[in-house]
Amino acid sequence: MPDEVDGDLLERFAHGDQDAFESLFRQFEHEVYGWILRIVRDANAAEDALVEAFWRAYRGRARFDSSRSFGAWMRRIATNAALDQLRVARRDALRLGNDTSRSAPAPASDSLRESIQIAFGRLPPKLHIVAALALIEEQSYAEIAEALDLPIGTVKSRVFRATRALREELARLGIRV
């Protein structure tokens, strides 16, 4: 995310200036959307989370410290919005009976990619997010820890648990890794 933001612009944003907010939105929209998309892996969900993230940023603008990085602050907000999207998607799947976590293994004809998507979809949101960032996006543990506002040890633990859960799920789907 772009880190070079005019200090005056950040001050104006923190004090509720609508034009400053719109300028920051235009400057960070693409990067925030890309970050969210890497987490949720669905364009529609990413768009919803993008709107929610900027809405949260606007509502929380008074708590923003204009001497700090707007990009890092926005990434944390975007990560939380993406995590909420994952939770909603999982809850909706359970409510609609589309949760395949208890169904029979996928047919052998399913592609490896589809099986991996199914396995990822069955991860709890807290594990899904770290697995997506670490295993797919190849973010460092330090970057993930900063984005999620977690200790590095927690990130490592969650990546380990997610990897183990993915292996177990893929094995259940008939794929040995």
Q: Which domain holds residue 157?
A: 102-177
At 84-119, the pLDDT tens digits run 988 888 777 667 765 444 444 444 444 788 888 888
Which residue did the predictor score with more confidence, 32 or 175? Answer: 32
Whether residue 38 contacts residue 137, with contact meaning beta carbons closer than 8 Å, is answered with: yes
- Encoded amino acid at 146, one letter: E
- Choosing from 99, 134, 155, the residue where a domain stops is 99
DSSP state at residue 66 = T
Rounded CA gap, 107 and 115, in Å?
A: 10
- Helix spans in 15-151 (H): 18-40, 43-59, 70-95, 112-121, 125-131, 141-148
What is the domain count for the chain? 2
* Predicted structure pTM score: 0.73
Determine the pLDDT at residue 100.
47
Q: Are residues 44 and 9 in the same domain?
A: yes
pLDDT over 70 at 83, yes or no: yes
Mark whether 113 and 164 lie in a shared domain.
yes
Straight-line distance from the first to the last Cα atom of the chain, in angstroms, rounded to the nearest whole number:
35
Which of 99, 127, 143 is where one domain is finished?
A: 99
Q: 83 and 12, same structural domain?
A: yes
